[in-house]
């Protein structure tokens, strides 16, 4: 590897929807394929594991005490990820075996919040196979609030990756100026934006984020079609009947630090993309704008970050 360069990629894929183990196996296959292309960082879409709660939008998800909504939610919790249980161990082993860092989007069911609520979480696993960060989405978007719990600032962190400093946010968090500013202030110059998947989001925001942060931006999305809904799921036939043909069309892409496309949005197909990025491009673009360095005024505006992991209880023995 040339000193300034890094091989990065995204896997745009459909989950085996709401099936944890089958989706893990499919993701591991993409990791193996990426390893053959000498990929050093591979990214997957938001809550790809085990899937985004698409059903809420087309099954009257806000109806209170709906038996259908309760049954689907119960299945969702059953298939969600418990990191404490070892559900991500296979990814840690793969990362270590291939010397490849991973960014995963998971539905997390954490024990530290009682074990019966789920969070939209971005998980970073380093090339040594260590889980280095779990960032829980600060604010679920619109109908997501019927299913996911709001996260906290614990995961607003960056990590060294070769010459780069990497950070990431979930979906519409990327529209939130202050979380972006938090990552910029921590030195981010490689930003990962993970999405459930739609080109209409990524083609608008990705280039802006790159231009604002003078950073490389990888936007990675999932895919979801009505044909991806198994009739073995609770109410599977009804979901197939009511779902639109495309719930998520992808749109994964990569922008250069000047806001130009390195990889234009890829839509309507499963796709593995691996490219080389060069840190010299970051340094060149910081010549005329650095949002938290020479083009900032911390004496006038500053940001305070609370990175405490939130909990309902505090135990004193």
User: Is 199 among the residues known to form the active site?
Assistant: no
Tokens 């196996």 sit at which residue?
25
Q: Is 246 helix (H, G, I), strand (E, B) or coil?
A: strand
User: Is 316 among the residues known to form the active site?
Assistant: no
How far is residue 140's CA from residue 148's CA, in Å, rounded to a whole number?
6
Per the residue annotation, which of 26, 39, 43, 46 is the catalytic one?
Answer: 46
5 DSSP β-pair partners: 278
User: Is 171 among the residues known to form the active site?
Assistant: yes
Q: Are 199 and 267 in contact (CB under 8 A)?
A: yes
Per the residue annotation, which of 43, 120, 147, 171 is the catalytic one?
Answer: 171
The dihedrals phi and psi of 90, each to the nearest 5 degrees, come to -65, -35
How far is residue 33's CA from residue 290's CA, in Å, rounded to a whole number?
36
Tokens 């043909």 sit at which residue?
245
Q: What are the start-end ranges of the E strands in 119-260? A: 119-125, 131-136, 159-161, 164-170, 190-195, 216-221, 223-225, 246-255
**Radius of gyration (Cα) for the chain, nearest Å?**
19
Per the residue annotation, which of 137, 163, 173, 212 is the catalytic one?
Answer: 137
Q: Are 72 and 51 in contact (CB under 8 A)?
A: no
Alpha-carbon distances, residue 227 vs 16, 24, 177, 222, 243 (angstroms): 11, 19, 37, 15, 9
- Which residues, 6 or more positions from 160, have their beta carbon under 8 angstroms from its beta carbon? 166
How far is residue 234's CA from residue 72's CA, in Å, rounded to a whole number?
6
- Which residues, 6 or more positions from 191, have their beta carbon under 8 angstroms from its beta carbon? 166, 167, 168, 169, 183, 209, 210, 213, 215, 216, 217, 218
Active site residues: 46, 137, 171
């Amino acid at each position: 590897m040339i000193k300034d360069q890094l091989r990065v990629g995204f896997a745009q894929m459909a989950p085996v929807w709401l099936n944890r183990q089958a989706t893990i196996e499919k993701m591991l296959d993409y990791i193996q394929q990426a390893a053959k292309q000498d990929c050093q960082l591979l990214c997957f879409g938001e809550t790809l594991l085990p899937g985004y709660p698409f059903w809420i939008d087309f099954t009257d998800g806000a109806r209170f005490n709906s038996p259908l909504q309760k049954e689907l939610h119960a299945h969702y919790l059953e298939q969600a990820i418990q990191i404490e249980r070892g559900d991500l161990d296979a990814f840690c082993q793969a990362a270590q075996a291939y010397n490849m860092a991973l960014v995963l989007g998971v539905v997390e069911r954490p024990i530290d919040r009682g074990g019966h609520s789920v969070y939209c979480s971005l998980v970073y696993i380093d090339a040594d196979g260590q889980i280095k960060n779990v960032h829980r989405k600060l604010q679920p978007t619109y109908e997501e609030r019927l299913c996911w719990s709001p996260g906290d600032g614990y995961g607003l962190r960056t990590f060294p990756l070769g010459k780069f400093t990497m950070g990431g946010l979930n979906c519409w968090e990327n529209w939130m100026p202050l979380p972006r500013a938090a990552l910029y202030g921590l030195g981010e110059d490689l930003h990962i934006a993970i999405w459930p998947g739609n080109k209409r989001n990524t083609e608008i925001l990705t280039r802006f984020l790159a231009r604002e942060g003078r950073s490389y931006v990888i936007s990675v999305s999932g895919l979801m079609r009505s044909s991806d809904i198994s009739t073995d799921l609770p109410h599977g036939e009804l979901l197939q009947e009511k779902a639109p043909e495309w719930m998520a069309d992808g749109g994964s892409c990569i922008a250069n630090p000047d806001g130009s496309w390195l990889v234009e949005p890829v839509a309507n197909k499963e796709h593995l993309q691996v490219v080389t990025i060069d840190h010299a491009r970051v340094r060149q673009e910081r010549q005329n704008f650095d949002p938290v360095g020479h083009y900032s005024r911390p004496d006038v505006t500053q940001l305070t970050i609370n990175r405490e992991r939130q909990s309902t209880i505090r135990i004193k023995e």
